[in-house]
Amino acid sequence: MKKEHELVLGHDLSTLQQLEDSGRTFSDDGRIQPVEQIVAQHGATYVRERLWVNPPLPYSDLPHVLTMAKRIKAAGLKFLLDFHYSDFWADPGKQPTPQSWQDQDLSTLAGTVYTYTRDVIERFARQGTPPDMVQTGNEITNGMLWPLGAISGNGSERWVEFTTLLKAAIAAVRDGSQQDASVMVHIDRGGDNAGSRHFDFDVIGLSYYPWWHGPLSALQANLSDLAPRYNKDIVIVETAYPWKFTNGDSERSFGGSYPVLLPGYPPSPEGQISFIRELLSLLGQLPDQLGRGLVYWESAWIPGAGLEQDTGDTWGDMALFDHEGRALSSIKCYEDTAFLGH
């Protein structure tokens, strides 16, 4: 169900507990505080958490995300739940089916997706932390739950399988919700595929990293196409920008190579603020207040916790905290959003 004029000003904090367990602390103006409280004090309205089915480490699994949901709600923030439908990372280049779900036929797998999704939603509701928004799959431009739910570059192959699985996930969110959670489809395909298949969703989620997705003009063109085509709220649900170019971990940013940046947006906290404000401005220009907001990806992923056991962090230069956990001035990026008109 669409939440009228509700602005999404979010932070993905999925790695936070792993960092805390490794001994990292975070501070704002010299005072150590939980990150969710810091971002709430600086204008955030949402925190996003990813959910994996059976990950290699006990993070981003259901017990972990249930704990984080309590912290998010206690800080007065809303909760965006990001189902990956995978044991580990799912993105446009890989959407591996969880090991325990493999070799199921379409009907069985759709039933598994439905039951799992509904059970998860009900678990959050029972502890008093129902998600306010639910993302049914992560970056599913090329499908989900591969190989069965994979779609080709033109979307012509396995489209029935993909839509069957996605519809099962969406139906489970609707049926399991104790409130009318908004359903987000995180897909950035520019054609009319999703609209023509009549998905019952509320929000389009986009990823925008300029070094992968092109200049701001490309984003603006995509937004201008999507808004009238679907008449759905749009959230840039993943984005980030560097504050410096020297990672404080042995695992260097982007595997030792650095991204091509946007002209006029230097790698600095000020550059981060300008970048985020420009994205919000582009969203604010969409008709009928369809530009709903954005979520900064892994705002607190400073050096100290890697993707797997005994690996380093690769994201420290993109965070909104320095490598010692001190909030940068860019943590204030959401404090003045009156220009959006929501």
When the pLDDT of each residue in the chain is averaged and rounded to a whole number, the result is: 89
Annotated domain spans of the chain: 8-340
CA 88 to CA 103: how far, in whole Å?
18
More confident: 190 or 173: 173
| pLDDT tens per residue across span 74-94 | 999 999 999 999 999 999 899
Residue pLDDT, tens place only, 105-155:
999 999 999 999 999 999 999 999 999 999 999 999 899 999 999 987 555
What pLDDT does 243 receive? 96
pLDDT in tens, 41-72: 999 999 999 999 999 999 999 999 999 999 99
pLDDT-derived band of residue 257, with 50, 70 and 90 as boundaries? low
pLDDT (0 to 100) of residue 289:
94
Q: Give residue 21's pLDDT band: very low, low, confident or very high (50, 70, 90).
A: very high
Q: Please, which pLDDT band fits residue 249 given cuts at 50, 70 and 90?
A: very low
Mean pLDDT along residues 194-206: 75
* Residues that are catalytic: 139, 238
pTM of the model: 0.92
- Gap between the Cα atoms of 298 and 118, Å rounded: 26
- pLDDT value of residue 310: 43
CA dist list (Å): 56 to 60, 88, 229: 10, 8, 40
Instruction: Give the rounded percent of residues in the chain with a pLDDT score beyond 90.
Output: 76
- Give residue 124's Cα distance to chain centre: 18
pLDDT at 153: 58
Structure tokens at 301: 């992923």
pLDDT attached to residue 6: 82
The pairing of beta strand 31-32 with beta strand 27-28: antiparallel
Which phi and psi angles does 17 have, rounded to 5°?
-65, -35
Identify the pLDDT of residue 200.
86
- What confidence tier does 252 reach under pLDDT thresholds 50, 70, 90? very low
pLDDT at residue 199, as a whole number:
77
Query: Per-residue confidence at 309, pLDDT binned at 50, 70, 90?
Result: very low
CATH number of 8-340: 3.20.20.80
